[in-house]
Amino acid sequence: MAKWGWSQGISLRKEEETGGKMKVPLLDLKAQYASIREELDRAVAEVVASQQFILGPQVAECERAVASYCGCAYGVGVSSGTDALLLALMAERIGPGDEVITTPYTFFATVGSIARAGAKPVFVDIEPESFNIAPDRIEERISGRTRAIIPVHLYGRMADMKAIMAVASAHNLTTIEDAAQAIGAETCGMRACSVGHYGCLSFFPSKNLGGFGDGGMVLTSDEHRRDRLVMLRVHGSKRKYCHEEVGGNFRFDTLQAAVILAKLRHLDRWTEARRANAARYARLFEHAGLAGTVKLPEPGEGRHVFNQYVIRAPRRDELMDFLRKNEIGCEIYYPVPLHLQKCFAYLGHRPGDFPNSEKAAAETLALPVYPELSDTQAEHVVATIRRFYCG
């Protein structure tokens, strides 16, 4: 095949100069750290100097700031995004004998938290375009034991919360938004975490707003729910050594709160860079003649924050190996949908039960989309994919 050209100032010269070799990581946290190093170092040093490492003053400040950013009244910082989900379920007293509806195409923590609470996960397949739970399939899975719905805003795109809340309201169900990958995402004028009864965030380092370790937060606008969350995160205690319920040790580290506070000031800038990178990929794939080969993510209405940039690709596993051999970071999220995981075999599901989820698991591949990704790096990613398909 003849060499191909790029429009809008893109040329083959860069490929020729590098001999087609260039390292492009899936995520470059070192570049992010370098850009705000002084702020982060100062924030950490202040915590170290104070020696208040658990639920220190920065935690309350972080809770207020993140809640305000998400359009919620209250934030309760916790030990991880997984614990945020579990704590929300505990706050609603969801446990054995109860059922919780969610999607099988998500990170394990979503469904693992339901099981850890003692409830039964009930799956609804995804929409193929958004990768999010299909609202029009939820009602048929509701039973007399259903207590809650956990929609996941996967990859940074919000689920159809208007339709989901209509179903939840009609059946008096609690809605817990799993927004671990979607802080700042919006749809129909609504921001992630602000629509359901609870919103759960993860501050895992790879998230758009990531800490220096594990951390998370539960958001709500209900004062009573907030009070229960605060009590349960410290072993069900309102007063020291007096326990009203059996809670857990879900406390938020002050160091993580300080890091999140410092990074929150930059989040919108980073988000817009991710969105710009996604738009650039769309142009590059079009110019490369790959639009009919590779299916690109659809941003949908509102604000997709692109925690991951996930394509559907023919011969996905071969493409992944080719990219990695060429030192381009990529990842499969998620290769085995949760209804087919060994630990959930007791639910009795078989291959074919949720075809859209299974198809996504077989076809999708995440490409680098972090804010610091350069024009040259993005061009190299697409050029390498073209070499794989076109030679």
Euclidean distance between CA atoms 351 and 337, whole angstroms: 10
The phi, psi pair for 202, rounded to 5°, reads: -115, 140
> Which positions ≥6 away from 219 have C-beta within 8 Å?
66, 67, 70, 72, 74, 75, 76, 193, 194, 198, 199, 200, 201
The full DSSP string for 257-311 is HHHHHHHHTTHHHHHHHHHHHHHHHHHHHHHTT-TTTSBPPP--SSB---SSEEE
For the stretch 44-66, pLDDT in tens is 999 999 999 999 999 999 999 99
* Arithmetic mean of pLDDT over the chain: 94
Euclidean distance between CA atoms 223 and 229, whole angstroms: 10
Token reading at 318? 């071969």
pLDDT at 306 over 90: yes
What's the whole-number mean pLDDT along residues 86-105? 98
Strand ranges inside 203-315, DSSP E:
216-220, 237-239, 242-243, 309-312
Token reading at 89? 């379920």
Token reading at 234? 């410290």
Angle at 344 between CA 252 and CA 347, to 5 degrees: 125
Report the interhelical angle of 316-325 vs 375-390 (nearest 10°).
130
Please name each of the domains of the chain with its CATH number.
13-30+266-390 (3.90.1150.10), 35-264 (3.40.640.10)
The phi, psi pair for 198, rounded to 5°, reads: -140, 155
> Which positions ≥6 away from 216 have C-beta within 8 Å?
77, 78, 79, 80, 81, 82, 83, 84, 180, 200, 201, 202, 203, 252
For the stretch 224-259, pLDDT in tens is 999 999 999 999 999 999 999 999 999 999 999 999
Euclidean distance between CA atoms 156 and 263, whole angstroms: 18
Euclidean distance between CA atoms 261 and 195, whole angstroms: 23
DSSP code at position 235: T
Euclidean distance between CA atoms 91 and 71, whole angstroms: 21
pLDDT at 36 over 60: yes
pLDDT at 13 over 60: no
At 296, the amino acid letter reads L
For the stretch 126-139, pLDDT in tens is 999 999 999 999 99
Token reading at 193? 């975490």
Look at residue 20 in the predicted model and tell me its pLDDT.
57
What's the whole-number mean pLDDT along residues 356-380? 98
| C-beta separation of 128 from 157 below 8 A | no
